[in-house]
């Protein structure tokens, strides 16, 4: 009887060890490195945003969004009787209205890609990959990591990304003026709301971005095993962190929920690729899309 009780205790003890692993010193260091990498590449004052091409928002009136009658619109809205030279092409006139936020948001995304690259280079294991694999991982995950990091500026108060002043507050309507359809933006905003509700610690937030980057199943990756190894080490660290540091009441299923977010990001990424292709073809002013953006997301005219 006594033996049985002792046995049971022993089993319970070892079970507890499995479920509440310790944060190893090495894992602590990894987390500290990731947090520092993120802080160095995410400026929460958003002071660089004034260097982007300025945001242009339509007046929000139905006329302004009317892209089907660009010639009529320009004649009705001006004192001139003739079409202005710049609007000689209907497509251009329509693009002027429809893609008015594109230059600013494209600059924001290009800037964000540079920051994501800086973050990636500070993740232990990334620089050790061959350049081709580094490029494959970045190309495939850039938009997902940008969506993840943007959660920091997202607020549930008015479902906007608020980066300082009103000028740099982005609402659904603004993103529509960069050419994206509501179909994509609704899930994007829902994703942000659900992410916000997870109320992640900074450690969890940065680990999730790193795990997203080190996905071995991205197209073109040669050394899948190496990528998988790093990813497994990151996920193990995340599990350990949640188990020891996250308050019991909120850690319920947290790891599972975070992994689910990675799946949702895949589908946002896929839908984004389709809409990006469309936008990059519609963008009459090719300068609207910075070279880095064309390189990472693809250049349809190349």
Please name which of 96, 99, 111 lies closest in space to residue 50, comparing C-alpha atoms: 111
* Cross-strand pairs, 160: 155
Q: Does 146 bind ligand YS5 (CB under 6 A)?
A: yes
Quick one: which segment of 27-35, 126-134, 141-149, 203-211 binds ligand YS5 (CB under 6 A)?
A: 141-149
Q: According to CB under 6 A, which one of 41, 112, 136, 231 is a site residue for ligand YS5?
A: 112
Q: Does 175 bind ligand YS5 (CB under 6 A)?
A: yes
Q: Does 200 bind ligand YS5 (CB under 6 A)?
A: no
Cβ contact 136:218 at 8 Å: yes
- Which residues fall within 8 angstroms of residue 218, CB to CB, at 6 or more apart? 136, 137, 139, 140, 141
Q: Whole-angstrom Cα distance, residue 82 to residue 120? A: 53
Quick one: which segment of 77-85, 176-184, 218-226, 235-243 binds ligand YS5 (CB under 6 A)?
A: 176-184
CB of 15 to ligand YS5, least distance (A): 41
Total residues contacting ligand YS5 by CB under 6 A comes to 26
CA torsion angle for 184, 189, 106, 212 (degrees, to 10)? -90
- Which residues fall within 8 angstroms of residue 173, CB to CB, at 6 or more apart? 57, 60
Q: Does 105 bind ligand YS5 (CB under 6 A)?
A: yes
Q: Whole-angstrom Cα distance, residue 61 to residue 63? A: 5
Quick one: which segment of 87-95, 100-108, 207-215, 252-260 binds ligand YS5 (CB under 6 A)?
A: 100-108
Q: Which is nearer to ligand YS5, 223 or 264 (CB)?
A: 264
Cβ contact 240:24 at 8 Å: yes
Binding stretches for ligand YS5 (CB under 6 A): 102, 105-106, 108-109, 112, 146-147, 149-150, 152-153, 161, 163, 170, 175, 178, 180, 184, 188, 268, 272, 276, 279, 293, 297
């Amino acid at each position: 009887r006594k033996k049985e009780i002792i046995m049971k205790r022993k089993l319970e003890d070892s079970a507890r060890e499995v479920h509440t692993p310790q944060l190893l010193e090495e894992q602590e260091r990894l987390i500290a490195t990731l947090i520092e990498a993120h802080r160095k590449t995410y400026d929460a004052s958003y002071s660089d945003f004034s260097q982007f091409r300025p945001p242009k928002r339509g007046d929000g009136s139905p006329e302004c969004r009317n892209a089907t009658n660009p010639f009529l619109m320009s004649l009705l809205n001006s004192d001139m009787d003739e079409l202005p030279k710049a609007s000689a092409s209907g497509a251009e006139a329509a693009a002027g209205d429809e893609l008015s936020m594109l230059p600013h948001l494209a600059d924001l995304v290009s800037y964000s890609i540079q920051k994501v690259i800086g973050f990636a280079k500070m993740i232990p294991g990334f620089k050790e990959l061959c350049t081709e694999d580094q490029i494959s991982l970045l190309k495939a995950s850039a938009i997902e990591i940008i969506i993840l990091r943007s959660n920091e500026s997202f607020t549930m108060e008015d479902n906007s990304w608020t980066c300082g002043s009103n000028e740099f507050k982005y609402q659904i309507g603004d993103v529509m003026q960069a050419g994206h359809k509501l179909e994509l933006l609704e899930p994007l905003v829902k994703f942000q709301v659900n992410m916000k509700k997870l109320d992640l610690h900074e450690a969890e937030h940065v680990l999730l971005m790193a795990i997203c980057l080190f996905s071995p199943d991205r197209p073109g990756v040669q050394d899948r095993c190496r990528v998988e190894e790093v990813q497994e080490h990151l996920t193990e660290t995340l599990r350990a962190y949640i188990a020891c540091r996250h308050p019991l009441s909120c850690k319920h299923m947290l790891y599972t929920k975070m992994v689910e977010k990675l799946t949702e990001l895949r589908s946002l990424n896929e839908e984004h690729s389709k809409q990006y292709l469309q936008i990059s073809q519609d963008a009459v002013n090719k300068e609207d899309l910075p070279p880095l953006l064309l390189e990472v997301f693809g250049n349809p005219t190349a």
